[in-house]
Structure 1
Amino acid sequence: MVVDDHPMWREGVARDLTDQGFDVVATADTVASAAARAGAARPDVVLMDMHLPDGSGADATARVLAAHPAARVLVLSASDERDDVLDAIKAGATGYLVKSAQQSELIEAVRSTADGQPVFTPGLAGLVLGEYRRMSQSPEPDAPVLTDRETEVLRHVAKGMSSRQIATRLQISPRTVENHVGASLRKLQLGNRVELARYAIEHGLDAE
């Protein structure tokens, strides 16, 4: 799915992708339409602009992933500003490419994103990794405290394990796992398991 409020750019990118064998299942030009069409069309990859008439690309990314959590969002923006990049990644985007990229770079980036690989314009990857490192080493002073068991469950959530797999690993019941997940969601004020996994990854729990 291609999300951009400039018709010529949106249609040109969609056409280029189609020419390369991709199936463009939808296009959108606003945050609201992106969320609605992602839920209906269920795209594997979403190409996302950062500046839309009714909100930011970060807002749209969050709403697209809420509607279709399995989607992978690759930002394609004219902006390489630090705040735009970090806002997009924190909202759930898996990569960030500036619009000055060559067509071949874009096509390869879409393929890599579909395969689950993060893709960044040179220079931006270091920015994102540095921010994640800072976040994991310098927790917010008012960050909620999770119990040891909640942290242990969260670590496995970050690795993509299901409740049943976590239960088997920790030798507890799936219901107990869900209770710990629910408690963590409440403490961290997060909306769902996808956001919980993202929080864990951002704080380095998946590497422990």
Structure 2
Amino acid sequence: MTSSPIRVLVTDDHPVFRQGLKSLLVALGGIDIVAEAERGPDAVRLAAELRPDVVVMDLHMAGGNGIEATRTITRNNPSIGVLVLTMFRDDDSVFAAMRAGARGYLLKESGAEEIGRAVRAVAAGEAIYGPDIARRVLAYFTDMPDPKRAAFPQLTDREREVLELIAQGRGNAEIAATLFLSQKTVRNHVSNIFVKLHVADRAQAIVLAREAGLG
């Protein structure tokens, strides 16, 4: 049995680009263009009326913000996948689209096969990003600071490990066994932690550590 074609709503405020994209998608096969829109509000209305599988969305349109349209469509119709197709590659645009609920993000310079794969992936509920965008997303999360490290920058890595175990309620003997240290070394680390955190005892250290997400 032949599967049903993917129903697509194309949104872009440039008629020539919109027509070219429609022709490209239809030529790939297995895709039906159910409607087109040149403004964000029109895309929201048509998405609600027609319930397409995928909305291909430009971000910056003269007649309305694609980010807001994406947010409204995904909030009101979670089954509809939004694929952003834009010329903007800056981080602000990428992450704004992701936060708005877009499942995919491609640049307009992408090839026909890449756009087709993205439409099919988004229709299947997958998340997909062009190579350049994927590198940006990966770099962003790779470069994110460790919140535990940021919480106590005055501690050494070993002291932070000890504090993590203190926050878990471990005693010195158990910490020593876990980190393969002598109990004397652990006691020294604990003493240094108390001084650096300006706490008087283990209970105060645990409170601070847990507030910072340790333990």
Q: TM-score range by the shorter chain?
A: 0.5 to 0.7
For these two proteins, the number of residue pairs brought into alignment is 139
Identify if the C-alpha distance between structure 1 residues 38 and 127 changes in structure 2 by more than 3 Å, giving closer, same or farther.
Answer: same
Identify if the C-alpha distance between structure 1 residues 116 and 10 changes in structure 2 by more than 3 Å, giving closer, same or farther.
Answer: same
Q: Is 2:4 the partner of 1:7?
A: no
The match for 2:104 among 70, 78, 95 is 95
Q: Using the alignment, how far apart are the partners of 1:67 and 1:39 within structure 2?
A: 8
Matching residue's letter, 1:18:
V
Aligned to 1:81: 90
Q: Using the alignment, how far apart are the partners of 1:135 and 1:66 within structure 2?
A: 28
Residue 66 of structure 1: CA displacement?
2.8
The match for 2:57 among 11, 33, 48 is 48
- What are the Cα deviations for residues 66-124 of structure 1, in whole angstroms up to 9, with x where unaligned? 33221111110011111111111110001110011111111111111112222111132
Q: Which runs of 5+ in 2 are unaligned?
A: 1-8, 149-215
Between the aligned residues of both structures, percent identity stands at: 38
Q: Using the alignment, how far apart are the partners of 1:99 and 1:80 within structure 2?
A: 10
Q: Using the alignment, how far apart are the partners of 2:147 and 2:107 within structure 1?
A: 29
TM normalised by structure 2 equals: 0.59
- What are the Cα deviations for residues 167-186 of structure 1, in whole angstroms up to 9, with x where unaligned? xxxxxxxxxxxxxxxxxxxx
Identify if the C-alpha distance between structure 1 residues 131 and 90 changes in structure 2 by more than 3 Å, giving closer, same or farther.
Answer: farther
Matching residue's letter, 1:4:
D
Q: Using the alignment, how far apart are the partners of 1:41 and 1:68 within structure 2?
A: 11
CA contact (8 A) 1:36 1:67 kept: no
The match for 2:125 among 109, 116, 127 is 116
Which of the two has higher C-alpha Rg? 2
* Cα RMSD (Å): 2.2
Q: Using the alignment, how far apart are the partners of 1:6 and 1:129 within structure 2?
A: 31
Identify if the C-alpha distance between structure 1 residues 7 and 88 changes in structure 2 by more than 3 Å, giving closer, same or farther.
Answer: same
Identify if the C-alpha distance between structure 1 residues 17 and 55 changes in structure 2 by more than 3 Å, giving closer, same or farther.
Answer: same
Matching residue's letter, 1:12:
G
The equivalences for 1:107-186 within 5 A come to 107-129=116-138, 131=140, 138=147
The equivalences for 1:189-204 within 5 A come to none
Q: Counterpart of 2:13 in 1: which secondary structure?
A: coil
Q: Which runs of 5+ in 1 are unaligned?
A: 140-208
CA contact (8 A) 1:73 1:94 kept: yes
Q: Is 2:40 the partner of 1:31?
A: yes
TM normalised by structure 1 equals: 0.61
Matching residue's letter, 1:101:
S
CA contact (8 A) 1:26 1:37 kept: yes
